[in-house]
Amino acid sequence: MPQFEAERIRPEVHHRSLEEFISIGMTLREKKDNISWDYGDLAIEVTNSLGTKYLKEFCKGVGIPVESIRRYRDVSKAYPNKEFRESVKALSWSHFRVVAAQLDREQLLIRAHDESWSVEKLAEMTRTRKQKEQQLVDDGLPVPPKPELYFCPGCRHWYILSAEECPSEGKCPELSK
């Protein structure tokens, strides 16, 4: 009599080693990644052949949310070179998704491949890089104070300092109406 439900359904489960489970899991991950690419490539083909308006009908027909298909499509668009995809096959589809919007995405993926980065590591490295690029540079020079602004409701322009800067000296014909 089986002790666990899993033994009743799949008695061979408890006779595999961890390495075998990992191997099976990796095969499944690869299948999932291939499906993501296939859906993305197919969505590109649908929109190129029939137009964007048919993408929703396509999604409904295959039973996959529009957001998912759009994500697959956008990642496939970012990497049209299937040879490049194959060259870093050890990376998951999610690696590609994480850096799809980056201009140097292929270089990032090559580095992730060469250094065996997880998806999380790749995302963190990209995030950290963005933060460093966006930091303000202090050149040591003083920053002048922000000037006062004046809005002239007559001519509807902004002027620095005061109403005297307005060409009509604050006496716009629009104000006298």
Closest CA to 33 of 82, 79, 94, 75: 94
Comparing 87 with 152, which gets the higher pLDDT? 87
Q: Is CATH 1.20.120 correct for 5-134?
A: no
| Interval 110-138: pLDDT, tens | 999 999 999 999 999 888 876 666 554 55
Token digits of residue 123: 């995302």
> What sign results for the dihedral spanned by CA atoms 5, 11, 12, 17?
positive
Which percentage of the chain shows pLDDT scores above 70? 71
Instruction: Write down the pTM of the prediction.
Output: 0.63
Ordered by start, the domain boundaries in the chain are 5-134, 145-177
| Interval 3-39: pLDDT, tens | 556 555 565 556 788 898 888 988 888 888 889 999 9
Comparing 148 with 101, which gets the higher pLDDT? 101
The runs of H, that is alpha helices, within 51-118 are: 55-62, 66-78, 82-87, 93-98, 105-114
Closest CA to 15 of 28, 26, 24: 24
